[in-house]
Structure 1
Amino acid sequence: MAQGQRRMIERVEPRFEPDRKDEPGADTDADGGGLRLTREDRPAPVPIEARGRASASPKTVRQKSGKGFFGGDARTSGSRGGSSGGGRGRRPRRRRSFLFRLVYWSFVLAMWGLLGVGGIVAWYAAHLPPIQNLEVPQRPPNVQIVSADGAVLANRGDMGGAAVSIKDLPSYVPQAFVAIEDRRFYSHFGIDPIGLARAAFVAITTHRATQGGSTLTQQLAKNVFLTQERSLQRKVQEAILAIWLEHKFTKDQILEMYINRVYFGAGAYGIEAAAQRYFHEPAKSLSIAEAATLAGLMKAPSSLAPNKNPKGAQARAHEVLDAMVDTKVITPQQEQQALATPVKVSKFASESSGNYPADWIMGLLDDFTGPLDTDVIVDTTIDSKLQSLGEQSLRQALDKSGAKLHVSQGALVAMDPDGAVRAMVGGRSYADSQFNRVIMAHRQPGSTFKPFVYLAALEAGATPDTVRDDAPVSLAGWNPADFSKEYRGPVSLTTALALSLNTVAVRLCAEVGAKTVVDVAHRLGISSNLEPNPSIALGTSEVTPLEITSAYATFANGGHLVIPYVVKRIRTVKGKVLFQRGPPMGQTVISDDKVGMMNSMMSETLTVGTARKWALSGWQAAGKSGTSQNFRDAWFIGFTSHMVTSVWVGNDDGSSTKRITGGAMPAQIWNTFMKTAHKGLAPRPLPGAPWVHQEAPVDPAVDAQQPQIDGAPDDQPVAMDPSYDGGPPPDRPGIGDWLHRVLGN
């Protein structure tokens, strides 16, 4: 029983073995009869992704297997028994085509590429200021300097020109830029995908980046917010900012900002600066051909500049004109007319002598207005025609005789008797040298300083007819002499000044005292330091042309102190006045009778004296020539009741000229300038009470005070050579002719 129970409890597992019925002696029904499982009867492995669902849907598992659960092919059997009908089998697996796989993986790569680009954009965008706080930087203020007759002398500021509204321009001017730079400007959103694709295609096929994909908006973004660096970061940020600009501003506003800020070469930023720089006219007056020329500069501002590369600029302008026709900005007939009339490039404004007063004005501007935050217009006293005349007169003389006479530089300044500067030429060529010799060069004035000596003597009691001895003088080893080394003996002060006799000037200075002479010069407006020694009588202390000219203006205006000025008014482009000059006439510093005496004496310089060859026909004029020691400086300063003009020539390094005197080249330049400046004006006499010459030539009051000059009146050493201009009076023709031949008069 126990054994039987043990047998009942004991479980007998069937054996699954291969069917051996074909083998000899095989037992076909041992331990389970004929139950056998072949390899084909075994279920296929369950896919990993289906194992978790096996318990929930065994049928699904069986259907996904390659074989039927009981050995039948799942793709062909319709039931467990493998027979057709009833059940639904699995479709046969199809092989994917190459095209499908190409599209699929291209899509995958594109998605990953977009994610990468998005990450880069997000990274570079994070390095921009917050968009909500972003503002277009204010355009740096421009200072437009305008002559008294309305001509633009110069533009100063970072941009080089004022901003203009596109409403004030001919329509073809801004549209020229659209036609050649960004034809889809009015349709894109700041970035032009078509343009980018075209530029990329050209770059790939030609292996060169010959076309740009940047829109005008992108170029504006780069100019306003970014640097010119070529990098991926700059391009990405440029695109982001372009989209922001398109969102914030209208197309016309963007186009206006663009043409007012873009670089045109030669230091010109903006359409107005470029128009003035290349064509010397306002942007509103540009012709079609000129507009095409400026638009063409966007490709290469430096290499296509019309003043440097006229052929290249013309060829590029032709391309712009073709683009303007294609975009219907102009007609084919207008293009042909533009091609038939090539542009005329004017002399560069940066080379004009008008830049000399412009530089002077910029040095004064802050005192008038303080820091500027808007464009301003400075109305000046400069006459553009006189400015050009002064430049031409000076340059022609130097070009003709400068090399032969070893003189390389010159300066000219002209002003009204009240001190209003009408012309200022600070050198031979502004392009070659921006050093303004009118206001910066301190040079020995030579005999042009003598009027201050003679005025001091008149104020001490002398008269134009007072007689002094033209004879040798010795001052502590210094022996100033006249140029001719011949002496005339007793002469009137009028004659002595007209002939620029050194000995008489030295005697007068000794009589009144060198300090008195210095005080007189300072009272009349000389601001430079003057050494009160005996040689001051011959102009050995250095002065600038501007200050000595303003001192002479005191004689021309009747004795009133002159403070030279050039700015009349400063206003914003909208008309707000920031500065307005008041009445310029200063206090009286010379009495009327002394003014008349001095003008009577100095007028002899242009009638019988050192500059008699250069008198102004029909006008009463007065003046004085001057030559410094060793012929380093040559001057002529002369005036009428209408204008005061001084001319200086010499060398910047202080080297000697070939014996040029003030009565030669400087007086000739002065005459050329003044003749034209006085055309059409009614002659007026010089101011001051006319002097009537007296029979008695000696003034006892002064003569009694005349010292015996046989030694230095003070202990200051003098080591200067004498200066001389001119010759003897007309009653000595022999000596006079000899002197004039020597002096070139």
Structure 2
Amino acid sequence: MANDSGRRRSTSGPSSPAKKKPLWRRIVRGLLIWGAALAVLGVIFLGTAVVFTMSELPEYNALKSSQNGQMIVVRARDGTELVSLGPSYGKWLSYDQIPEVMKGAMVSVEDRRFREHIGVDALGLLRAVYVSTTTGGRAKATSTITQQLARNVFLNNSRSFTRKAREAVLALALERKFSKDQILELYLNKVYFGGGAYGIDAASRKFFGHPGTELSTAEAAIIAGLVKAPSNYSPTADVEAAKDRGEVVLGLMVKNGAISQSEADQADIADVKVVKEKGQNAVRYFTDWALPQLDMLLPETNEPIEVWTTLDPKMQQAATASITANAPKGAQGALVSLDRDGAVLAMVGGTDYVNSNYNRATTALRQPGSAWKLFVYLAAFEAGYTPDDRVVDEPVTIDGWSPQNDGRNFAGQIDIRTAFAYSKNTIAAQLGNEVGFGTVASMARRFGVTTPINTKPAMVLGTSEVHVIDMTRAFAAISAGGTSVEPYGIIKVTAASGEVLYAHKSVRGQVLVPPNVAAGITDLLQTTVATGTGRAAQIGRPVAGKTGTTSSNKDGWFLGFSSGITTGVWMGRDDARPVPGLSGGHAPARAFSDYMKVAVAKRPVEQFQTEVKLPEWQLEPDDEAMQGNPDDYYYVDENGNIVRPEDGAQGLDGQPRYEDGSMGPGAGPGQPQMPDYGPAQAPPAANEDFLDRATGRSRSDDPGLRAGQGLGNGPGTRQGSPGPRPTPTRTPTAVRTSGD
């Protein structure tokens, strides 16, 4: 057999090119490579940052001695200390001294994986992202205890990405430098629990009246629940909310194994006794309003400061007493008192700050009732009315709205002064309709009302809600002669070294209304106290003011001024339910009187400027008076002599008679003699064109002249009392409103 091995062809042949991988695989491979590279770089960068931060961290003892927060001493205008605010630190408790239930409660509610993570809980973050993705909500990853410690000690509470990144790096560094026990010890001694208390010992003493080493399971649960929202769950502000939150914490402690279910059942939170705060009084209403303004007045600083305020201690005490003594049972009261430059002399935001720190003087929105008529009559006076103008108190219907007076009676023709003093609703409605409800709203805005204002007809009776401090500011502007007043509470701020960091600068107020308008409304306000609805506000010296009562006696107001001090008083229930017998002319007016007798005791008696001096445009005579009587015409000749071409003003020879009785021609007595022109050459008294203009002849022939606008009986007429204003005649719809 022949050997054909040499003729056998090779089946392998030359090598074929490698098959190209799909594009998507190459993209994925590239992403993995680049992702791994970036991850390595990120780890290197993060590690470097953590190592560097560790080297910069203070030692443990230094962290223990550092304090959070700022100490603020608040002083009255006479320098006496009103209150000291800021951080309150109890005794430092070592890790072994802290009760186990306190440690377990805090870890359970704030960071249940505290013993497992490295400072940042990656699993917790991933879980938050997953929940957000599956539920469509926003990712909510709670910071670890270590992160919270880093933020409290080294950072602020801003929500920026940069701050979160720095917080994470600091947390990692803290975990590398200190043990878990040290971190928890630092946290429990430094975390803020509300009410100025930092650390569990300060919180325990403040809320329960004993050291932190004696905390029970129920008390520990309440304290641990405060970290999330100290102001909302503070036992001194809302005991029930604090205890409800404590029940939630107990459940989490059982879930995480910190305590057993039987131990949770034995911890009766309902029986926990909360210590009532001491030293809290009405001054805190004022400090709660004034101190937040420091954020705008001062650069950011953590050093101790002293804040000198406008508050007068004796006036504040009198204000508190007047509200306490006069507020009806079950009702609240508020008072704001301003000096002539806007300095807040006294502020009361409620009858008891401990039970309710809600400031009704600056925050609450209530209807002012007839006190709002201040703006109605201001608008009317600016339109030309005066206190003596006559109006008609009679039924009126405007856009289907028919206001009624208190007592459902009508006085007929009265003057503006009386209508205001007895708070006639029908007159306020007519005036508001005449000047325009939008005009009334603009007047209120001009005088400092910052809340929304409706422009429906009933707005003239005070249906728009306002702040007490805004209404007081408006009346203070009237006391200042129609010049704006800006309330302020801080005179100056000094550092611990005595350096003045801020000083209030007085600014001249803007003129809001002409002097005659301010004088006219002051006249009305004074009459209201002297003979009208505000008689209970009398204090033995001139007082100007206005009462206000809303429907069903839900709100009672009195606002007024005397001797440069303006005070506003409001009373009512927080739930806006009726208060039997409440009206502005009774309890609020009495509270005003009780306070003002003390406030103005050392001030001289001041009389009000109530003389209405009308502006020239209201004093201008009508067209006929401006044109004059042609028979009364006179002129001055070229020699300076007055020539009166009236009956008997010329001699028998037709020569003019001068003021001294002599007759021309000639310069008159004592004047240089002029050439004798003779009777035929005597200059005429006036040319025909001048006489035509002066007497009104041929006015229609002159396109440069137009007929004068008669003032008639409008508000600008001052030749006599204007007649009654016409009132709209629409289908009556009775609406019962209070009349004061």
TM-score, length basis structure 2: 0.54
Contact kept, 8 Å, 1:419 with 1:584, in 2: the verdict is no
In structure 2, the CA distance between the partners of 1:132 and 1:482, relative to structure 1 (3 Å rule), is closer
Q: How far apart are residue 373 of structure 1 and its match? A: 2.3
Q: Deviations over 1:687-706 (max 9, x none)?
A: 464689xxxx9967387696
For 2:473, the equivalent position in structure 1 comes to 550
Inter-partner Cα distance in structure 2 for 1:718 and 1:584: 48
Inter-partner Cα distance in structure 1 for 2:289 and 2:326: 25
The answer to whether structure 1 residue 665 and structure 2 residue 587 are counterparts is yes
Q: Deviations over 1:242-261 (max 9, x none)?
A: xxxxxxxxxxxxxxxx9xx9
Two-structure CA RMSD over aligned residues (Å): 4.6
For 1:390, the equivalent position in structure 2 comes to 319
The answer to whether structure 1 residue 701 and structure 2 residue 717 are counterparts is yes
Pairing 1:156-555 to 2, within 5 Å after superposition: 156-157=85-86, 159=87, 267=196, 348=277, 351-398=280-327, 401-403=328-330, 408-555=331-478
Q: How far apart are residue 661 of structure 1 and its match? A: 1.0
Unpaired runs of 5+ in structure 2? 1-50, 98-148, 155-170, 172-177, 220-235, 237-274, 615-712
Structure 2 SS opposite 1:439: coil
**Among 674, 680, 683, the residue aligned to 2:602:** 680
Contact kept, 8 Å, 2:389 with 2:416, in 1: the verdict is yes
**Among 567, 571, 576, the residue aligned to 1:645:** 567
Matched letter for residue 651 of structure 1: R
In structure 2, the CA distance between the partners of 1:478 and 1:434, relative to structure 1 (3 Å rule), is same
Q: Deviations over 1:515-536 (max 9, x none)?
A: 1111111111112221122212
Structure 2 SS opposite 1:683: coil
For 2:519, the equivalent position in structure 1 comes to 596
Whichever of the two has the greater Rg, that structure is: 1
In structure 2, the CA distance between the partners of 1:145 and 1:483, relative to structure 1 (3 Å rule), is same
Matched letter for residue 724 of structure 1: G
Number of aligned residues: 459
Q: Which moved more, 1:368-377 or 1:629-638?
A: 368-377
Q: How far apart are residue 409 of structure 1 and its match? A: 1.0
Q: How far apart are residue 362 of structure 1 and its match? A: 3.1
Inter-partner Cα distance in structure 2 for 1:580 and 1:718: 56
Q: How far apart are residue 447 of structure 1 and its match? A: 0.6
In structure 2, the CA distance between the partners of 1:691 and 1:631, relative to structure 1 (3 Å rule), is farther
Inter-partner Cα distance in structure 2 for 1:675 and 1:347: 33
Inter-partner Cα distance in structure 2 for 1:366 and 1:612: 43
Matched letter for residue 668 of structure 1: R
Unpaired runs of 5+ in structure 1? 1-125, 162-173, 183-189, 197-220, 242-257, 279-293, 309-345, 726-745
Q: Deviations over 1:277-334 (max 9, x none)?
A: 99xxxxxxxxxxxxxxx9x96876999xxxx9xxxxxxxxxxxxxxxxxxxxxxxxxx
For 1:154, the equivalent position in structure 2 comes to 83
Q: How far apart are residue 642 of structure 1 and its match? A: 2.2
Inter-partner Cα distance in structure 1 for 2:598 and 2:332: 22
Structure 1 SS opposite 2:476: helix
Contact kept, 8 Å, 2:382 with 2:513, in 1: the verdict is no
Q: Which moved more, 1:590-599 or 1:680-689?
A: 680-689
Matched letter for residue 723 of structure 1: S
Matched letter for residue 607 of structure 1: A
Q: Which moved more, 1:586-595 or 1:668-677?
A: 586-595
Q: How far apart are residue 670 of structure 1 and its match? A: 0.6
Contact kept, 8 Å, 1:511 with 1:706, in 2: the verdict is no
Structure 2 SS opposite 1:418: coil
In structure 2, the CA distance between the partners of 1:435 and 1:705, relative to structure 1 (3 Å rule), is farther
For 2:737, the equivalent position in structure 1 comes to 722
Q: Deviations over 1:488-537 (max 9, x none)?
A: 11111111111111111111111111111111111111122211222121
Contact kept, 8 Å, 1:265 with 1:301, in 2: the verdict is no
Inter-partner Cα distance in structure 2 for 1:518 and 1:235: 64
Structure 1 SS opposite 2:350: coil
Inter-partner Cα distance in structure 2 for 1:723 and 1:372: 51
The answer to whether structure 1 residue 609 and structure 2 residue 551 are counterparts is no
Inter-partner Cα distance in structure 1 for 2:408 and 2:734: 18
Structure 1 SS opposite 2:594: helix
Q: How far apart are residue 385 of structure 1 and its match? A: 2.1
Structure 2 SS opposite 1:625: strand
In structure 2, the CA distance between the partners of 1:237 and 1:540, relative to structure 1 (3 Å rule), is closer
Contact kept, 8 Å, 2:371 with 2:558, in 1: the verdict is yes
For 1:251, the equivalent position in structure 2 comes to none
Contact kept, 8 Å, 1:381 with 1:568, in 2: the verdict is yes
**Among 701, 704, 710, the residue aligned to 2:728:** 710
Pairing 1:618-633 to 2, within 5 Å after superposition: 619-633=541-555
Inter-partner Cα distance in structure 2 for 1:444 and 1:263: 39
Inter-partner Cα distance in structure 2 for 1:458 and 1:547: 21
Contact kept, 8 Å, 1:630 with 1:721, in 2: the verdict is no
In structure 2, the CA distance between the partners of 1:541 and 1:721, relative to structure 1 (3 Å rule), is farther
